[in-house]
Structure 1
Amino acid sequence: MIGRALFGAAAALTMVGVTAAPALADSTRDQQWYLTDLKIAEAHKITKGAGVIVALIDSGVDPKHPDLAGALLPGLDTTESNLAGREGTEDTDGHGTGMAGIIAGRGHGAGAGVLGIAPAAKILPIATGGTGFQSSSFMTKAVDFAIKQHAGVINMSFGGADDDTVHDAIRKAQAADIVLVAAAGNDNSIGNTAGQYPGRYPEVLAVGAYGKDRKIASISITGPHVDLVAPGDQIMSTSIFDRGYEVSGGTSDATAMVSGAAALLRAKYPDMSAAEVVHRLTATADDAGPAGRDDTYGNGLLDVVKALTADVAPLPAAGASAAPSDDAAQAAPPAASDSDDLPEPVGVLVPALIVAGVVLLIGVVVVVFMMRRRRSG
């Protein structure tokens, strides 16, 4: 099944995930292969994301799941449905509960249950309701609420067509210095178009998915919009079914991984801007595929520990570039030392001095001539 749900009969947006069979509780942590792949135990020695709020725009989150105890803040239901007033805590689909577990699952007991990438972060659930996205105006409400609640990260594990209302909300969130993370999209084998926005917007960090072999997942859409890839195949997380667990996959899950990593960065570097957080995530990624950035892996595979610890060059100032382009070099005026023309002040001064010199010389000649006449007379 591509996507856990398609919200609304005419909806342009869909959650991008693939669900497999439920898992047994006592083997949950062992099946979280991505914790080892991302060296999360080492990362958690540095920070667990305390003090950071991750806004989760999704299907809602089940607050009674044992692994999410203490992880949820009062949220918002953006729809005009009978779920209004439930504060994002009604999830009839399960997608949002799964993403919450990946981002900030706390587990339970002695190493049991799902452990999130940022288990000390808080989830701000912003639910679209059981009947789904009624219109793109949900995004305006969601972003306004996230800004009001001081969210540091917004997770958008959904996607669809380009939409002006959604893009305007994205720009507003960017202006509020929020890290914006979205799914690159899943290949639904029907035109390769599922879920490419808001991931395609330049303000958003678009995330693709890779599997246990560290190769790009077959379902993950590739293209110039991909910024980073993260684990997104055979992902164990929290489920609404019997408040247990299930294995899923897709760029939704990979997006939640990166949102958790962004929360860790915002906790360690509280004065770092959202743009700098994104820069650090992409600059420290493990290169894969062809050397440098490519359309399959983007800047590479997420490296949480390196993002937290590496000495990263600062983000270039807006509008600045390391070297002028060929066009710019051709258009630039030549340096003064290479020019045959004198600078304007010098071009005026030299002729004036020449004229003054000629006048002075004439005066001297006249004076000498007059003195000789006097002597001869």
Structure 2
Amino acid sequence: MTPTRRALVTTLALTAALTTTPTAQAADTPQHPWYFDTYRIEDVWEHTTGEGITVAVIDSGVDPTLPELQGQVLDGTDLTASPQGAHADTDGHGTDMAALIAGTGEGSGIQGLAPGVKILPIRMTLGGVSLGGTERFGEGIIHAIESGAKVINISQGGTIPEDELSEAIALAARHDVLIFAGTGNEGERTNHLAAPASLPGVVGVGAVNSSGERSPYSTYGPQVSLAAPGDDVPGHCGDISGPACIRDEGGTSSATALASASAALIWAQHPDWTKNQVLRVMLNTAERPDDQRRDDYTGYGIVRPDRVVLDGEGDPGDPDSPPIFRDWEAELRPPATPSPTPEATPGPDAGANPAPDAEPAATSDDASPLPWLLGAGAAVLVAGSVGWLLWRRRA
């Protein structure tokens, strides 16, 4: 283990130990998983539960009849080739993601990180296969935007042409909507980059374990912006008709759901903030060594919504200035005035994205580094990959 990685592990472990009190519920239950102590979640809920925020879950559907999801799930839509309704979920993956975000813990069910959130289910997949065709995935994002979702959770990915998603992702940016997507579970094998996490405008989320280390399966690379707990997270044993349990390996699916829930907690407390401000404070308060801005394994660090909600950390900054993807977003709107001089012609080796040191670093008011992800390799999809996969790992 490298010194910087060891520092991250120690910092997160110490934080968990210091925030656990003798009166806290026993950890490692579906109603109180280990990260609740790290996130001081009971204190956070005194300030925000995610109320007023809708999170769209683009997945296999969401079953609203589970005790922990009753009253939490909106109508949604089914975009599969043979629609059964957004509340049909024979796979269970989408329901588990919704519960990690907004579950109430009722009936010994899963307690979500943001139980005040409303879930908008958008059914697209079954058993890891896109049933509506990948070309309809953009329709799911557009439906989420039109339905008033502030956060879109995509705990899956695959080989999909960039142009099938780029327009929908751009529309989300224009409408002040955050998109979080799992980077994938190929870290121990091919480490394929997969859309939509690999595309500009989407916040790629990796997975860590309870020690704060990257989970070995978590796909790594330039698309990773943040990380969140992916192991020892709640789910349902067997199918969703089974009891809630703690699963050893949840995957980047679970990590994405917890990142989405974290954004909802922050946004509910600061409803006047833009997506740029919510994401900026998430990046600047993420758990990471002080001397490290980002790496390809956990991005800018592990999400820490409690630091924003309870400690008031993180400078939201300019509401109109994106903390990452700023070049990409600048291309979405025409320049105010034409450039006074023609741009230099790039050399033969110049790519679509500048090198990481091609733009100046910025800092927040407290001098903490403000990260800029330039998206190098963002649109790269590995030839030979097949299908659209739910980022599931079940022990």
Scaled by the length of structure 2, what TM-score is found?
Answer: 0.69
> What's the CA shift for 1:77?
0.3
Provide the C-alpha distance between the structure 1 equivalents of 2:112 and 2:56, rounded to a whole number of angstroms: 15
Q: Check conservation: 1:289, 1:297, Cα contact below 8 A.
A: no
User: 1:121 offset after TM fit, Å?
Assistant: 0.5
1:56 match: secondary structure = strand
Instruction: Report the CA distance shift for 1:67/1:313 in structure 2 as closer, same or farther (over 3 A).
Output: closer
- Quick check: 1:167–1:198 contact (8 Å CA) kept in 2? no
Aligned to 1:245: 244
Moved more, 246-255 or 95-104: 246-255
Q: After TM superposition, list the pairs within 5 Å mapping 1:154-165 onto structure 2.
A: 154-163=152-161, 164-165=163-164
The CA deviation at 1:263 is 0.8
Partner of 2:165: 166
Match in the other structure for 2:231: 233
Please report the TM-score for the alignment, with normalisation by the length of structure 1: 0.72
1:3 is aligned to none
The equivalences for 1:1-377 within 5 A come to 28-29=29-30, 32-83=33-84, 86=85, 88-108=86-106, 112-130=108-126, 132-133=129-130, 134-163=132-161, 164-187=163-186, 189-193=188-192, 196-238=194-236, 240-246=239-245, 247=247, 248-288=249-289, 291-308=292-309, 309-312=312-315, 314-315=317-318, 317=321
Q: Quote the RMSD (CA, aligned, Å).
A: 2.7
Per-residue CA deviation, residues 39-88 of structure 1 (Å, 9 max, x unaligned), is 211211110011110000000111111111111000100012041xx2x1
Q: Quick check: 1:183–1:206 contact (8 Å CA) kept in 2?
A: yes
- 1:328, distance to aligned residue in structure 2 (A): 10
Cα distance between partner residues in 2 of 1:165 and 1:234: 34
Cα shift at 1:138: 2.2
Aligned residue for 2:204, secondary structure, equals strand
The CA deviation at 1:129 is 4.9
Deviation at 1:207, TM superposition (A): 0.7
Instruction: Extract structure 1 runs of 4+ deviating beyond 4 A.
Output: 325-329
Percent identity among equivalent residues? 35
2:220 and 2:297 in contact (8 A); partners too: yes
Q: Is the 8 A contact 1:75 1:126 kept in 2?
A: yes
3-state SS, counterpart of residue 258 of structure 1: helix
Q: Deviations over 1:21-42 (max 9, x none)?
A: xxxxxx8336611212222112
Cα offset, 1:307, TM superposition: 2.6
Amino acid at match of 1:167: S
1:259 deviates by 0.3
The SS at the match of 1:307 is helix
Describe the superposition over 1:120-139 as per-residue Cα deviations: whole angstroms up to 9, x where unpaired.
10000001154741312222
Range moving further from structure 2, 243-252 or 307-316: 307-316
Per-residue CA deviation, residues 161-198 of structure 1 (Å, 9 max, x unaligned), is 252212221111121111111112211644221x6211
CA distance in 1, matches of 2:164, 2:359: 36
CA distance, structure 1, for counterparts of residue 34 and residue 254 of structure 2 = 13
Structure 1: gaps spanning 5 or more residues: 1-26, 330-377
Query: Using the alignment, how far apart are the partners of 2:277 and 2:242 within structure 1?
Result: 37
2-side partners of 1:44 and 1:97: how far apart?
Answer: 22
Tell me the secondary structure at the aligned position of residue 241 of structure 1.
coil
Whichever structure has more helix as a proportion of its residues is 1
Cα distance between partner residues in 2 of 1:167 and 1:312: 29
Provide closer, same or farther for how the CA distance between residues 69 and 190 of structure 1 changes in structure 2, counting only shifts above 3 A: same
What amino acid does structure 1 have at the position aligned with 2:171?
A: K
Q: Which amino acid in the other structure matches residue 136 of structure 2?
A: F
Task: Provide the rounded CA distance (Å) in 2 between the counterparts of 1:185 and 1:327.
Answer: 28
Aligned residue pairs: how many? 294
Residue identity in the other structure for 2:46? K
CA distance in 2, matches of 1:275, 1:69: 32
Counterpart residue identity of residue 312, structure 1:
D
Indicate conservation of the 8 Å contact 2:187/2:218, yes or no: no
Task: Report if the CA contact (8 A) 1:228-1:299 is conserved.
Answer: yes
1:114 is paired with a residue of what secondary structure?
Answer: coil
